[in-house]
Amino acid sequence: MKKYFKKDEWNIVEEGFHPDENRIYESVMSLGNGHMGIRGNFEERFTGDGLQGTYIAGVYYPDKTKVGWWKNGYPEYFAKVLNAANFIGIDLIIDDEVIDLAKTKVKSFKRILNMKNGYLKRKFTITTSSNKEFNVEVVRFLSIVDTELAAISYKITPINCNASITFTPYLDGDICNEDSNYNEKFWLELQKNVEKYNANLTMKTKKLNFIASTSMKWCIHEENIPINSSISVLENEKFVGNKISVSAEENKSITLYKYISVTTNRDYDDEDIVNKANERVKYAYEKGFESLFKEHASAWETRWNNNDIVIKGDVEAQQGIRFNIFHLYQTYNGMDSRLNIGPKGFTGEKYGGSTYWDTEAYCLPFYLSTANHQIAKNLLIYRYNHLEKAKENAQKLGLKGALYPMVTMNGEECHNEWEITFEEIHRNAAISYAIYNYVKYTGDKKYLADYGFEVLTEISRFWASRVTFNPYKNKYMILGVTGPNEYENNVNNNWYTNTMASWNLEYTFDVIFYLQKEHPTRFYELTDKLNLSDPEMCKWKDIIDKMYYPHIDSLDVFEQQDGYMDKEQLSVKDLSETDLPLNQNWSWDKILRSCFIKQADVLQGLFFLNDRFDLETKKRNFDFYEPKTVHESSLSPCLYSIIASEIGYIDKAYELYLRTSRLDLDNYNNDTEDGLHITSMAGTWMSIVYGFGGMRIKDDMLSLNPCIPNVWSKYSFRINFRGHLIKVSVENNIVAIEQQNGSEFNVNIYGENYTIPSKGEITVYKR
Amino acid sequence: MKKYFKKDEWNIVEEGFHPDENRIYESVMSLGNGHMGIRGNFEERFTGDGLQGTYIAGVYYPDKTKVGWWKNGYPEYFAKVLNAANFIGIDLIIDDEVIDLAKTKVKSFKRILNMKNGYLKRKFTITTSSNKEFNVEVVRFLSIVDTELAAISYKITPINCNASITFTPYLDGDICNEDSNYNEKFWLELQKNVEKYNANLTMKTKKLNFIASTSMKWCIHEENIPINSSISVLENEKFVGNKISVSAEENKSITLYKYISVTTNRDYDDEDIVNKANERVKYAYEKGFESLFKEHASAWETRWNNNDIVIKGDVEAQQGIRFNIFHLYQTYNGMDSRLNIGPKGFTGEKYGGSTYWDTEAYCLPFYLSTANHQIAKNLLIYRYNHLEKAKENAQKLGLKGALYPMVTMNGEECHNEWEITFEEIHRNAAISYAIYNYVKYTGDKKYLADYGFEVLTEISRFWASRVTFNPYKNKYMILGVTGPNEYENNVNNNWYTNTMASWNLEYTFDVIFYLQKEHPTRFYELTDKLNLSDPEMCKWKDIIDKMYYPHIDSLDVFEQQDGYMDKEQLSVKDLSETDLPLNQNWSWDKILRSCFIKQADVLQGLFFLNDRFDLETKKRNFDFYEPKTVHESSLSPCLYSIIASEIGYIDKAYELYLRTSRLDLDNYNNDTEDGLHITSMAGTWMSIVYGFGGMRIKDDMLSLNPCIPNVWSKYSFRINFRGHLIKVSVENNIVAIEQQNGSEFNVNIYGENYTIPSKGEITVYKR
């Protein structure tokens, strides 16, 4: 943990130049708009350490997965998020000196991510070898209004001299994924074109035939007035650019505006995408930087008006939550049901594949509460559309029903570690839980008849074929699994997995009863389609009745898995600083046989099935497991924070809140350089709304049970519940609820029901 | 299981041409001489399926180990047995038609591995497109007298025509390992030279700077008379050869003799190896094919005279055991203490690294009994020399003492699957057991003072740091291991591992007592060097006293590991044929959660610690585990066969003997194409000598307890016990022991002591 950024409610500011930590700043300063994203790289040349990263949503590469020893059932490929053509590049030459911030003298430097309006700004002063000084100011954004567009304003001002300045705006497709084996390149040049004021570069992936076409146009101003320049054309393999030379006078700014469009054959026919890219960039160029920016910035303001969380009295906490909300919306906007939310979004290459159980378990609640319900529904439909592939996946492992992949781009499993791929089967329950959660929140029960029941049935079938009946104990067991705590592999009877599997079967029965009653025709249509029989359902019932749950009797807590208590029982505080993070300092076997917990496991179950456990049970389990948890998954502290709030451990909840909300900003797990933990950012949001806010849905009613950390004077959040847009404000023992949009409805606050008038507000005092 | 070869006591014969199964025949027909080896490839061009394989002992490649997700502590590289320059190649052109057995019409075909004299012969008849017919007879061998030399006699006879015949003997270094990622090549050309009658090709590995220099010379005869020919010189990248054209007359044979030498910088200085190669090949050329062959064949006869096992009444069983002994001696001759025994020897590329615990657990007894004791000692010294690296390895995992690598070339771990590399720690006990076994067999207790004790101490330290004390049960446990049965991963308290760890500590104490008494000065020197303290030894004692052993009380059998009985209890006979082998038909998770056993695990312990368990215990455990064992490790059936013999299950022992001895010949596990199971061949030998022969060493005395399978009328084996070369012959209830070399000594037979006179024989009848 280290403080990299100054406290600021709306901005993330790097003060001074930190080339040694550049990757960390690059990750944090990433921009994205759902369609594409770029890390906080420099426009001008930089030969220092960094990861030039440009990513396009839905464009990936099925890399060969060669491992030493193959396991039967492994997928053919390991999907990789694909680093695409660099479109921000603008080389800068002053009097024949190439500017390279790794070599050129940098006198002052500031890099600012403005979250309120969604742009990245850099302001720096450089001194050339002939002691000429220049101020540079660069602003760029990826439009959230026109997501195929990006624009850069690159302004340079000589301070103590005149100078000859050459800009080379370019498009570079000669890009290699950093995680590529043997530096294999994944893109081929398909076509290119470059003229004096515009250029296009169109690349195609070696596999799957993704095509991405990037166009650029530019213009150049002196003190806001267009000027003439000497222009030449550059063309190389996978590269197009212009070389533009102007004479700059002391104290007169020269600004190059670069407009970029990126189109892909995910959205257009192959033969159209170059034209579309050219058309789009022409539109941007004609509209101009200021107008484009204005509508982009204003769209961000609208978003914040609907979804902002305001915290008073704690700038770090405020900065943290906005940073999380900002990056979530940069990554996924829900417009495209073929897309999902990658753990690193557009901020890095790690965790290659796009979709994990993170989406269902962590991201769904955020989108449910902050956006139109169609967006959450799209996330569910994504899995519905992959049901056939999930069935094939189960079959490949010799099992029935559907096993959703651990990691996927298109519904196929694309990860190859047996202990994860084959054994981390709890992910299946998260898919079911998302359906439950969606219906509970939105009330859209029709979803069950239309889509949900098929998924629930096939997943139930999976569980029924995956359990082992133990006749000696008259119990069903689930052997050989990896739970959410991936610091245990191939264990028997992970409590969370067994609990969720049984819950899953129960919920399927709930849905069966509902459909039988409310949609009998559709129900019989579905049982027919699914070939669902009574004996099959009897087996499910038997499993529910006889599921085995490991338990530590002496402490009355759930046992994470069989044999957990045979481990040496230690606490994180017994560790020395040099041990942490364990995954960077301990060998894997040592981690596995230790009692230390990567992320919420038993507690994940207490969170999901919140209403099944009383406060004392939650407390006992929290008290036992929390001290053993190292939170080396980004998904961990948010969950613990929520439960800590619920059981009244506010200080602990606040400590964990800071950890989750500032995980990347303060680099808690020493891995911000790899990219940001996008999916856990939704968990951060939950740690306020579900945690401090105590929001739950019970019997179709919104319920709140707010508390507030000591250091905060006030906080507020906005949520959308079934068409009611409300703002919840919490001060010490006072809760105010304002309905900004929607009709009168009831809310349960601290256990009492209140009516919130349309466009009205109520205030409740905690007794 | 399939019968590929006809029954023959001394030969392995492929009758007819089987291009579709060529890889299987290639593996079986491999030749080797300890220094190098080649698969049973063809000299002339063959574009059909096959693996051209040429391997040189001790020459390997540290390949990058890229896997999807890295685990802390993984080695930097995965060692690969290196496929080296092909030196057997002789292209054949008849009247401008290139002969390629994948395309040329093959009228008859026979490939014969002659085990008695150690050569490979092919006899075939081909018909060219112009209907000319030719008989071809090719003989080759790798000299076991001059191990740097090989020779080929390639004879062709036109049957119904005259013809122009062109031979191209060549050396080809443009070789790619079949298991290379991305087809990376590992050899660079260092130098080459080609003249009319000789050529040299010298290659260097891209890493580690191994240099292998291959020279060839040739001559050509018509009907045994040297003849003139038109010769040209071929030179390409990594390739040298000669093109030799002659006119062949009907019914007159033309024979090309090709002599090859292979030298490496493992044996010579870099600057000498080319000269050495040229010198050696000149020697071979001058000696001539017949003389070279004669001394080679006669060396094989001497070997057989010392080590043959003769079985009467069962040709398949006879062929099987000779095949095993033959390949063992082809792979390792014990001359070079830097070498060890790779699981596939020189017959394939799988299992990259060279040394596994197979050496200590399976191969050592064979070399102990069939060769000079120095050879077995060399195998032990190999590990002694790697002690420092084993200590580094333990340290890397955060443990004390020494952890020997699972797979190694030079003492470093070179395998990267966490469940094996980090967890299959029982291998350490096998290193200790080999010391125990060597001393027990040879009586060379001085080895303990000179080398053994240091290894035992560091391994004991490892165990002491690897156990977990469970205060609730007042027991030491060993968590997170993989036992010999690799169809279980990351289990707790594998009975075998716990048992061997505790035995290991006990044996270390035995050695301490011995050294204290017999070599007190050396002992104090060693405790000083090793910094061995009383508290440390007290901890060892405590572990011995409180080790936990899983046990199935209801059946009174040892439990393979904690939770084994939670699995569904099935037998192999419950499986359908399409399930087997499991590792080719089931996904890994299904294998892991099944009760099926890959190889001897509990039974490995019963074998090693034979004298600790009574017959009834062995029977109960055999009866429980044998039906669950799929024997998908080559190391399995031999062990089960030995125990079956011991407990009187002779038919079962015989069935398992056939399986082990004909594993590769009959392709039981459907993997002969990958290469032969060399290390398990020593297990086959054990299944006769320890199994049917019932050989044990008790209190410095040789003890025998022979039985004989029903179908055999007689069998005999020869062993060397402490300087006594004896031949043991067994018929039904009759055992004859003949001392062929050595002084009078006592042997225990069926529980009674007998004196075997020098050069005399005794006969014992079973009561």
- Which residue among A65, A352, A566 places its CB closest to the CB of B477? A566
Domain boundary among A549, A578, A609: A549
- Tell me the chain B residues in contact with residue A469 when contact means C-beta distances shorter than 8 Å: 568
Contact A319, A12 (CB under 8 A): yes
Coil, strand or helix: which one is B529?
helix
Q: How confident is the model at residue A170 (pLDDT cuts 50, 70, 90)?
A: very high
pLDDT of A92 > 60? The answer is yes
Residue A420's closest chain B neighbor by CA?
Answer: B589
- Looking at the domain assignment, is residue B343 inside a domain? no
- Looking at the domain assignment, is residue A384 inside a domain? no
Strand B90-94, strand B163-172: pairing: antiparallel
C-alpha distance from B480 to closest chain A C-alpha (Å): 6
Q: What is the CATH number for B141?
A: 2.70.98.40
C-alpha distance from B468 to closest chain A C-alpha (Å): 7
Contact B366, B690 (CB under 8 A): no
- Which residue among B416, B472, B592 places its CB closest to the CB of A565? B472
Rg of chain A over all Cα atoms, to the nearest angstrom: 27
Q: Take residue B528 and report the two structure tokens written for it.
A: 């000083």
Instruction: Tell whether B274 and B391 lie within a shared domain.
Output: no
pLDDT given for residue B766 in this prediction: 85
Task: Give the C-alpha separation, A720 to A726, whole Å.
Answer: 6
C-alpha distance from A713 to closest chain B C-alpha (Å): 44
**pLDDT tens figures, A287-334:** 999 999 999 999 999 999 989 999 999 999 999 999 999 999 999 988
Instruction: Tell whether A189 and A41 lie within a shared domain.
Output: yes
CB contact under 8 A, A583 and B72: yes
- Looking at the domain assignment, is residue B524 inside a domain? yes
DSSP labels, A574-600: GS-GGG-SHHHHS-HHHHHHS--BSS-
Q: Take residue B31 and report the two structure tokens written for it.
A: 């030749």
pLDDT given for residue B72 in this prediction: 76
Count of CB contacts below 8 A, A vs B? 135
Active-site residue identified among A412, A424, A486, A646: A486
Contact B416, B78 (CB under 8 A): yes
Task: Give the C-alpha separation, A86 to A99, whole Å.
Answer: 18
CA distances from A718 to A193, A370, A607, A722, B146 (A): 48, 8, 22, 13, 86
- Looking at the domain assignment, is residue A755 inside a domain? no
Q: Interhelix angle for B495-518 vs B520-530, to 10°?
A: 130
Closest residue by Cα to residue A73 from B278, B626, B592: B592
Strand order in the sheet with A745-749: A696-698, A701-704, A745-749, A752-756
Residue A419's closest chain B neighbor by CA?
Answer: B589
Instruction: Tell whether B174 and B39 lie within a shared domain.
Output: yes
The neighbour count for residue B714, using CB atoms within 10 Å, is 15
Q: What is the CATH number for B519?
A: 1.50.10.10
Contact A126, A152 (CB under 8 A): no
Domain boundary among B503, B519, B549: B549
The sign of the CA dihedral B489, B490, B492, B497 is positive
- Looking at the domain assignment, is residue B124 inside a domain? yes
Coil, strand or helix: which one is A178?
coil
Q: Distance between terminal CA atoms of chain A?
A: 38
CB contact under 8 A, A587 and B73: yes
pLDDT given for residue B67 in this prediction: 52
pLDDT given for residue A73 in this prediction: 73
Task: Give the C-alpha separation, B326 to B117, whole Å.
Answer: 10
CB contact under 8 A, A587 and B71: yes
CB contact under 8 A, A589 and B78: no
Instruction: Tell whether B294 and B384 lie within a shared domain.
Output: no
- Which residue among B418, B473, B567 places its CB closest to the CB of A468? B567
pLDDT given for residue B767 in this prediction: 75
CA distances from A510 to A472, A536, B347 (A): 31, 16, 61
Coil, strand or helix: which one is B14?
strand
Q: Mutating which of A349, A407, A420, A593 best tests the B interface, going by the most B Cβ atoms within 10 A?
A: A593
Instruction: Tell whether B447 and B545 lie within a shared domain.
Output: yes
Contact B639, B607 (CB under 8 A): yes
pLDDT given for residue A335 in this prediction: 84
pLDDT given for residue A36 in this prediction: 97
CA distances from A432 to A371, A477, A532, B524, B736 (A): 21, 20, 18, 67, 73
Residue that has been written with the tokens 């990006």 in this structure? A150
- Tell me the chain B residues in contact with residue A587 when contact means C-beta distances shorter than 8 Å: 71-73, 396-398, 422
C-alpha distance from A1 to closest chain B C-alpha (Å): 21
- Tell me the chain A residues in contact with residue B71 when contact means C-beta distances shorter than 8 Å: 587-588
CB contact under 8 A, A584 and B397: no
C-alpha distance from A71 to closest chain B C-alpha (Å): 6
Q: What is the CATH number for B727?
A: 2.60.420.10
pLDDT given for residue A178 in this prediction: 87
CB contact under 8 A, A589 and B469: no
Instruction: Tell whether B380 and B528 lie within a shared domain.
Output: yes
Flag the least confident range among A69-83, A423-437, B116-130.
A69-83
Residues of chain B whose pLDDT is less than 70?
A: 65-70, 352-353
CB contact under 8 A, B590 and A398: yes
Instruction: Tell whether B92 and B172 lie within a shared domain.
Output: yes
Closest residue by Cα to residue B240 from B265, B210, B214, B273: B214
CB contact under 8 A, A583 and B397: no
Question: Average pLDDT in the A626-632 region?
Answer: 97
Question: Average pLDDT in the A416-444 region?
Answer: 96
Q: Mutating which of A566, A570, A670 best tests the B interface, going by the most B Cβ atoms within 10 A?
A: A566
Domain boundary among A306, A322, A357: A306
Instruction: Tell whether B200 and B297 lie within a shared domain.
Output: yes
List all residues 6 or more positions away from B194 whose beta carbon is below 8 Å from its beta carbon.
B200, B233, B234, B235, B240, B241, B242
- Looking at the domain assignment, is residue B351 inside a domain? no
CB contact under 8 A, B69 and A417: yes
Q: Which domain holds residue A502?
A: 421-549
Instruction: Tell whether A162 and A290 lie within a shared domain.
Output: yes
Number of domains present in the structure of chain A: 2
DSSP A711: T
Tell which wins on pLDDT, A733 or A475: A475
Instruction: Tell whether A446 and A300 lie within a shared domain.
Output: no
Instruction: Tell whether B285 and B393 lie within a shared domain.
Output: no
Coil, strand or helix: which one is A99?
coil
Residue that has been written with the tokens 């014990």 in this structure? B334
Closest residue by Cα to residue A399 from A422, A426, A365, A429: A422
Coil, strand or helix: which one is B724?
strand
- Tell me the chain A residues in contact with residue B398 when contact means C-beta distances shorter than 8 Å: 586-587, 590
CB contact under 8 A, B422 and A585: no
CB contact under 8 A, B568 and A423: no
Instruction: Tell whether B228 and B88 lie within a shared domain.
Output: yes
In DSSP terms, B166 is beta-bridged to B93, B245
Residue A78's closest chain B neighbor by CA?
Answer: B68
- Looking at the domain assignment, is residue A705 inside a domain? no
Contact A199, A242 (CB under 8 A): yes
- Whether residue A581 is preceded by a cis peptide bond, meaning omega within 30 degrees of 0, is yes
**pLDDT tens figures, A560-592:** 999 999 999 999 999 999 999 999 999 999 999
Task: Give the C-alpha separation, A687 to A115, whole Å.
Answer: 21
Question: Average pLDDT in the A602-624 region?
Answer: 98
Task: Give the C-alpha separation, A436 to A447, whole Å.
Answer: 10
Active site includes A486? yes
Q: Model pTM?
A: 0.93
Q: How confident is the model at residue A756 (pLDDT cuts 50, 70, 90)?
A: very high
CB contact under 8 A, B397 and A422: no
DSSP labels, B227-291: ---EEEEEEETTEEEEEEEEEE-TT--EEEEEEEEEEETTTS-GGGHHHHHHHHHHHHHHH-HHH
- Tell me the chain A residues in contact with residue B67 when contact means C-beta distances shorter than 8 Å: 67-68
C-alpha distance from B567 to closest chain A C-alpha (Å): 7
Residue A582's closest chain B neighbor by CA?
Answer: B72
Question: Average pLDDT in the A709-723 region?
Answer: 96
Active-site residue identified among B360, B486, B559, B626: B486
Query: What's phi and psi for B149, nearest 5 deg?
Result: -115, 145
Q: Take residue B286 and report the two structure tokens written for it.
A: 């001058």
Torsion angle in degrees (nearest 10) through CA of A309, A313, A316, A322: 10
- Looking at the domain assignment, is residue A571 inside a domain? no
Residue B474's closest chain A neighbor by CA?
Answer: A566
pLDDT given for residue A745 in this prediction: 97
Q: With residue B652 as reference, give the H or E element that holds it.
A: helix B650-661
Contact B112, B120 (CB under 8 A): yes
DSSP labels, B97-165: EEP-TTTSEEEEEEEEEETTTTEEEEEEEEE-TT--EEEEEEEEEE-SSSTTEEEEEEEEEESSS-EEE
